[in-house]
Amino acid sequence: MARVIFPDEIEKLIGENNLMVDARVFRDVVTELIGRYPELKESSLDKMAVAIDDVIVVDPLLEPINSDSDIYFFHFVTGG
Amino acid sequence: MKNTNEATDASHYKYIGTRSIRPDGFEKVTGRANYGADLSLPGMIWGKMLRSPHAHAMIKSIDISKAEALAGVMAVVTYNDFPSVSSEIVATGEGTEDLLDLARNLMADGKVLYHGHAILGVAAISRQIAEQALALIDVEYEVLPAVLDVRDAMAKDAPVLHEKMYTEGLAETPNTASNVASVVELKKGDVDAGFAQADVIVEREFYTPTVHQGYIEPHACTVRYDEHGQSMVWCSTQGHFDVRATTAKLLHMSLSKLKVIASEIGGGFGGKTTVYLEPVALLMSKKSGRPVKMIMDRDEVFKASGPGSATRNWIKIGAKNDGTITAMQGKLHYEAGAFKGSPARLGGMTAFTPYDVENMFVECYDVVVNKPKVAAYRAPGAPQAEYAAEMIVSELAARLAIDPIDFRLQNAAKEGTKTIYGPKLKRVGLVECLEAAKNSPHYQQALKENQGRGVSSGFWFNIGGSSSVTLNMNRDGTGTIVEGSPDIGGSRASMQLMAAETLGIAAESFKTIVADTENIAHNDGTGGSRTTFATGMAVVEAAKDVIRQMKERAASVWNVNVDVIDWVDGVAINVGGSEKLSAAEICATADRTGGQISGQGNINARGAGPSFAVHICDVEVDKETGKVDVVRYTAIQDAGKAIHPSYVEGQYQGGAAQGIGWALNEEYVYNDKGILQNPGFLDYRIPLASDLPMIETVIVEVPNPAHPFGVRGVGESGIIPPLAATAYAVSDAINAPITDLPCSPPNVLAVIQANS
Amino acid sequence: MPIVDYKAPVSVDEAITMLADCNTDVKVLAGGTDLIIQARPASSNPLTVIDVKYIDSMMTASVDSDGLTLGPAMSCAEFTARDDIKAIYPGLVEAAYLIGSTQVQGRASVGGNLSNASPAADTIPPLIANGARCVVAGPDGERDVAVEDFVVGVGNNCMLAGELLKKIHLPLPQARTSDAYLRFIPRTEMDIAVAGAGVSITLNSDGLCTAARVAIGAVAVTALLVPAAAEALIGTKLEDSALQAAASAASAASKPISDRRGTADYRRHVVGVLVKRAASIAAQRAQEK
Amino acid sequence: MAKVHVNTTVNGDAVEFLCNPGETLLDILRNDLQLTGTKEGCGSGDCGACSITVDDRLVCSCLVLAVEAEGKKIGTIEGVADKDQLNVIQQKFLEHAALQCGICTPGLIVSVQALLKENPNPTEEQARYYLAGNLCRCTGYDKIIRAVMDAAETMRGAA
């Protein structure tokens, strides 16, 4: 099972700061999360940056997830 | 996911790392390059904005009749001319923004929120008549008290800017409107436990003022609206695809009906990642049936584009006597300007990232005030928070009697360090930068009387994103690199070098062009130091695509399997035989072998190129006047791999100069009514040639595992360390703590007098 | 544009006639580095400008036994290149050199700087310190006004409608006399003075100060002549205590405001520092004469 | 308001134009003569992007009235190179990477040309003060000053 770790604003919404999910690609993670917490659908989950095993990916969908992956959601990073 | 892009051994590079002449150089030194204000079209008219003389007011009425009656006036547009706008989060060059806020910033909707807030646009047959028309418009205001600082904005009875804005991120949903848009917490470990282990704890609150990017080219555009065909925007922007997306959304146009051409851009530093003029100009073009040109005056740029946030940041750091930092804590307050969306959270994400410390906690407040909506400014949010953190780190080192570089080395972030925002750092070069600083001739040099020295680290992410590149090969074996990333600092040269290196063909054989939105697929803007990293990766992909095709063509000419073809120095070689075909030969006969050759690299670049910088600053203080002179300065930064070393050094030096300006003299000065007192280069004092010494540079190269050539973005980290390096040097020279920027003569003299 | 007419007379008399005959607001155009910006707002009144740069006497300078006679519209670039003037009035030349960038120097003039009458004008304190006088010409003839009386308020000079600043005259300094001007700005260039000090010092052969004039700028509505500061120097050998007394007198005489360029307290303090430093430099130069 | 007819010389070419009495030379150069190499950064003489020469004297064209060009000799960035042959200063700017965005570059090159004409052997400090009115926000001036010093040396060698 991959571990998903949330930032403060998602934690405040769902009351958890991390979850274990079964996923093969990143899409499975999102489907699973919204299935468990429908309120996440309205959140800015899809506007956040994601780090999968410490590799930052903007707007992922088909990124492979390993059984021991760590997946961090965090604020979308821009620049000047 | 396993990263397959292993960095290659640098010593084998033939083109990368050379100091080639930039391909767009000739146009730029002869005055032939066309910038935002340089396009004129037949029948073109001139647009100007009417701007608020008040910081906060209700608009009671607007009378445009006299202006409309003036001969030569062709169109007047207000907020009501926008098609219906609703609240919707849209991606802009700055990340995300509420479309409604964007529209209300372009032209006020019944309420003005800062001095200079645009109210309406007028287009006339000359710039002078447009200005005369503005003087004929009567606006009746009901002036409201202005909120000019986070403290005022958060006070109990503060006037509220937005009646429907409720603080997000609180444990309980609030039921009264507030100027605090959001509160976010970032944490790692347990700071209370960490502080309990500390032998020494230092805490202070720091202030940084509103500052401007200060690009020399004002915002400008020329547009033509065409209901039936193809509307066109020519403008100076860091991201023309973002201009197209935002403008089309606001005006209910399809993307295919709006072409945006990025002119040459005269500086941006983050400030040209959103729109201020283009949608209004298009509305006026639609109304008048004429092309419309708009150029901001310099005072408009200061009053009403997007400066960098003023902040009040409290930082507390604890360490053991042996130099181990045990806990780092911060409470950050960032001004967003008139609409929510300051980079407070980015401040929180960067403040302590140069440190491998177990316990961290940061609270980030995004606060609206009656000032222009902030925009990105070079590592947005990071300089302010890292300034505060680095000042405390330096003070702590002094209290512990440890060399400030040794103290930083002892606690330095490295591969595997878990960041406060979650993931662990990959291979990074902070330690190498600190060591280079320690070994630099500068750091060995003794200080003289009235001089002081400061050292500071800085961190920025440098995220990839979407880039598309087409590499069109010509029949003579030369090629055109078609990219969609506006070249703001010489990146065309870097693209050329990366294509040359990948293909093994001389760099001069390639021309790099920045295509408009019709001639290349979507590209994210030039921002976040992503261009050489991500667009460079796309160039490599496109070049590899060309190599693949070249090999196929050679194989078909020789009637062999493609597997036996090697590609060496721009030549296809039949490994099984002795035949060779150069790129030029393959291109010359391409029609016979299947048509012309064109490579494609459309990517969403994975990974990031975190770049750490370490700066050393020596200042001399005139203790009778408080005036500070920078006498020596060294900028050290990890470039991963410097594709074009001159332009890498240029980024370090430019970042240092901007940061020195931020530290010493730059600030927005408002009066108590919120009227900006210094909207010009006379009194918004950016550094001059005579203000600065040579800025020494050291390029550290710790290859980025996420890039084929090991590139890290270098544009932004360099503006972070100068604030604390300079301010701490002042503090060292006068032997008194500095907390508030700028270290302008009156402020420094006040600190000297208070401590004598 | 508010500038609606442009005239270029070739003599002072012609200029005075044009000034008198004008039926709009009228201003004299020398370098234009202040005027062109001031005339820009669309809401300002229609303005006629009289360009005096085609009048030879307005554009030349001569030094003789009487002192310096300066054409008010001569560009700072030309003025500061004149070694004969620099040898006698180094402080005034330094002040002219401080006005704006190289580009502005190419246009701006001492007379323009004086007539524009900004409290922070760099040339006014050294002009006062050198006892400079203005020759003002008008329809009713000429009059002669001391520089400290020429400037009457922020942006205001004593000239009446139809009058023209025709000449600036500086007397030849006594033996062992020299001057200095220092201003304080936050950067090294391109700023408006936060405070300024022009000092002229005369020494006797023993190095005793026998005469002094001290003028300060940017610390009141007009530049101020500060006799108390001069008195603190006269009769001394400019020891630290005398310099400090002059500094205190200058600070006491100043009536500064707080604005985007500095607070009142800061200006009051810094003008004293500048008087002290400028007096030392002027004395050093006087010694070397 | 009657327009004024002005006869002048721009980069050696005889030029005539009509202007309003209040129009700046910068506006005429850019909008009427299509010489857009001269840039507008501030309109108040504080940035130097519009630097040109009038009778060989360096000025900000935003602070010159177009009518004042009558009978004068105007020099702009477009006149610095000899056809496609870059001047030494332009060449050195490219070699030293003394430009990033390039908006200040035309004004700087015109100013450096004026500097080296007045003073072929400037010290670094003299160069920095002479160019203090040409703002550059990208480079921190380091590479610009190196280009200037190198150009000066090369030109002295050629002289």
Alpha-helical regions (H) of B289-429: 298-304, 344-350, 382-399, 404-410
pLDDT attached to residue A19: 93
Residue recorded with tokens 């308020």 = C153
Which residue among C1, C260, C270 places its CB closest to the CB of B683? C260
The CB-side HSE value for D106 (13 A sphere, CA atoms) comes to 31
Q: ipTM of this model?
A: 0.96
DSSP D15-26: EEEEE-TT-BHH
The helix (H) or strand (E) run that includes residue C228 is helix C227-233
Q: What is the pLDDT of residue B723?
A: 98
pLDDT in tens, D97-144: 999 999 999 999 999 999 999 999 999 999 999 999 999 999 999 999
Q: How many CA atoms lie within 13 Å of C216's alpha carbon, on the beta-carbon side? A: 35
Chains touching chain D through at least 3 C-beta pairs below 8 angstroms are: B, C
Query: How many Cβ atoms are within 10 Å of B200's Cβ, its own excluded?
Result: 14
pLDDT in tens, A52-71: 999 888 788 899 999 999 99
**CA of C35, closest CA in chain D: separation in Å?**
9
Report whether B150 contacts B367 (CB < 8 A): yes
Q: Does residue B528 carry a pLDDT above 90?
A: no
Distance CA B340, CA B111 (A): 16
CA B144 to chain centre: 33
Phi, psi of B58, rounded to the nearest 5 degrees: -85, 140
Residue of A nearest to B610 (CA): A56
pLDDT one-digit tens code per residue, B320-376: 999 999 999 999 999 999 999 999 999 999 999 999 999 999 999 999 999 999 999
Question: Which of B20, B22, B9, B5 has the alpha carbon at shortest distance from B641?
Answer: B9
A22 contacts chain B (CB < 8 A): no
Question: Which residues of chain D lie closer than 8 angstroms to B215, CB-CB?
Answer: 101, 103, 137
Contacts of D51 in chain C (CB under 8 A): 103
- Both tokens of residue B583? 């790129």
Chain B partners within 8 Å of A72 (Cβ): 421-423
pLDDT tens-digit readout, B473-502: 999 999 999 999 999 999 999 999 999 999
Kindly report the pTM of this predicted structure: 0.97
Half-sphere exposure of B463 (CA within 13 A, CB side): 26
Per-residue tokens: C109: 């003039």
3-state helix, strand, coil in chain C (%, to 5): 35, 30, 35
Mutation target to probe the C interface, by most C beta carbons within 10 A, among B49, B672, B677, B685 is B685
Cβ–Cβ gap D97/B28 under 8 Å: no
What is the rounded distance in angstroms from the CA atom of residue B335 to the CA atom of residue B333?
7
Local structure of B53: helix, strand or coil? coil
Alpha helices of chain D — where are they, by DSSP H?
25-27, 88-95, 105-118, 124-130, 142-158
Name the token pair of B95: 């990340």
Quick one: pLDDT at residue B11? 60
Comparing CA positions, the residue from B373, B382, B390 lying closest to residue B344 is: B382
Mean pLDDT for all residues in chain B: 95
For residue B669, which residues of chain C lie inside 8 Å, CB to CB? 260
Torsion of CA B696, B392, B445, B734, to 10 degrees: 110
SS3 percent helix, strand, coil of chain D, rounded to 5, is 40, 20, 40
The CA distance from B232 to B263, in Å, is: 12
Beta strands in B168-290 (DSSP E): 180-188, 200-208, 220-224, 231-235, 258-262
B416 CB neighbour count, 10 Å cutoff: 12
Q: Cα(C30)–Cα(C51) distance, rounded to whole angstroms?
A: 6
Chain B contact partners (≥3 CB pairs within 8 A): A, C, D
A7–B606 CB contact, under 8 Å: no
- Give the pLDDT confidence score for residue B95 in this predicted structure: 67
pLDDT in tens, B282-315: 999 999 999 999 999 999 999 999 999 999 999 9
> In chain A, what residues touch B186 (CB-CB under 8 Å)?
7-8
- Please, what sign has the CA dihedral across residues B531, B537, B542, B544? positive
Give the nearest partner residue to B656 out of D20, D95, D140, using CB atoms.
D140
Are D129 and B690 an interchain contact pair (Cβ–Cβ within 8 Å)?
Answer: yes
Nearest Cα residue in chain D from C4: D21
Do C21 and C139 contact (CB within 8 A), yes or no?
A: no
Residue of C nearest to B669 (CA): C260
Tens digit of each residue's pLDDT (9 = 90 or more) over D44-61: 999 999 999 999 999 999
Inter-chain CB proximity D46 and B264 less than 8 Å: no
Mutate to test the interface with C, among B73, B749, B752, B756 (most CBs of C within 10 A): B749
Q: Which of B273, B604, B602, B270 is nearest to B465 (CA)?
A: B604
Touching B: D residues 103-142, CB under 8 Å: 103-106, 109, 124-125, 127-129, 131-142
Helical axes B382-399 vs B721-734, angle rounded to 10°: 40
* Alpha carbons B569 and B500: distance in angstroms, whole number: 9
Tell me phi and psi for residue C52, to 5 degrees: -95, 10
With CA atoms as reference, report the closest residue to B426 among B608, B286, B248. Answer: B608
CB contact under 8 A, D129 and C189: yes
Q: What are phi and psi of C16, to 5 degrees?
A: -65, -40
Q: What is the pLDDT of residue B462?
A: 87
pLDDT digits (tens, 9 = 90+) for B659-700: 999 999 999 999 999 999 999 999 999 999 999 999 999 999
| Cross-chain residue pair C103–D46, CB shorter than 8 Å | no
Q: Does B210 touch chain C (CB under 8 A)?
A: no
In this prediction, residue B473 carries a pLDDT of 98
Tens digit of pLDDT for each residue in B71-113?
999 999 999 999 988 888 877 666 678 999 999 999 999 999 9
At residue D159, the pLDDT reads 74
Question: Which pLDDT tens digit goes with each residue over B394-411?
Answer: 999 999 999 999 999 999
- Facing A47 at nearest CB: one of B93, B96, B185: B96
Is residue C75 within 8 Å of residue C107, measured between CB atoms?
yes
Phi, then psi, of C216 in degrees rounded to 5: -125, 145
Please report, rounded to a whole number, the percentage of residues in chain C having pLDDT higher than 70.
100
Average pLDDT over every residue of C232-252: 98
pLDDT of res. B8: 43
pLDDT score recorded for residue A26: 94
Q: Please, are residues B521 and B535 in contact by the beta-carbon 8 Å criterion?
A: no
Question: Which pLDDT band, with edges at 50, 70 and 90, does B756 fall under?
Answer: confident
B chain contacts of residue D133, beta-carbon cutoff 8 Å: 688
Contact C102 D111 (CB under 8 A): yes
- What is the reported pLDDT for B94? 60
pLDDT higher than threshold 90 for residue B3: no
How big is chain B by its Cα radius of gyration, in Å? 27
Q: Measuring CA to CA, which residue among A10, A80, A76 is closest to residue B381?
A: A80
What's the pLDDT tens digit per position in D75-89?
Answer: 999 999 999 999 999
pLDDT in tens, C94-139: 999 999 999 999 999 999 999 999 999 999 999 999 999 999 999 9
Mean local confidence (pLDDT), B526-546: 94
Q: Which of B298, B658, B694 sits opposite D42 (nearest CB)?
A: B298
CB neighbours of B360 closer than 8 A, spacing ≥ 6?
A: B186, B187, B188, B189, B191, B327, B328, B329, B352, B420
Cα dihedral: B642, B647, B648, B649 (round 10): 130
Give B535's DSSP letter.
Answer: I
D43 and B CB contact within 8 Å: yes
Contact predicate B692/B657, CB 8 Å: yes
Q: What's the pLDDT at B1?
A: 30
- Quick one: how far is CA C32 from the chain centroid? 16
Establish if D26 touches chain B: CB-CB under 8 angstroms.
no
- Which residue's structure tokens are 């860091």? B238
Interface contact C192, partner D, CB < 8 A: no
Query: Closest chain C residue to B667 measured between Cα atoms?
Result: C260
Q: Identify the weakest region by mean pLDDT among B67-71, B604-608, D41-45.
A: B604-608
Say which of B134, B665, B678 has its CB closest to residue C187. B665
Q: Give me the mean pLDDT over the B142-169 stretch.
A: 96
Q: Cβ separation of C190 and B682 shorter than 8 Å?
A: yes
Tell me if chain B has a CB within 8 Å of the CB of A76: yes
- Whether there are 3 or more C-beta pairs closer than 8 Å between A and C is no
Mean pLDDT throughout B541-553?
98
Residue D37 sits at the chain B interface (C-beta within 8 Å): yes
Q: How far is B26 from chain D (nearest CA, A)?
A: 8
Half-sphere exposure of C66 (CA within 13 A, CB side): 9
Indicate the residue of B132, B625, B687 with minimum beta-carbon distance to C270. B625
Residues in chain D with CB shorter than 8 Å from the CB of C101 are 45, 48, 60, 132-134
Cβ-proximal residues to B548 (8 Å cutoff; 6+ apart), any chain:
none
Please judge whether A7 and B463 are an interchain contact, meaning their C-beta atoms are less than 8 angstroms apart: no
Contact A5, A18 (CB under 8 A): yes
pLDDT of residue B615: 98
Give B169 to chain C, closest Cα distance, Å.
Answer: 38
Mean pLDDT along residues B608-625: 96
The DSSP code for B499 is: H
B184, A7: Cβ pair inside 8 Å? yes
Q: What's the pLDDT tens digit per position in C208-222?
A: 999 999 999 999 999
Structure tokens at B717: 């980290």
- Strand-pairing partners, residue A72, are A5, A51
C73 contact D CB<8A: no
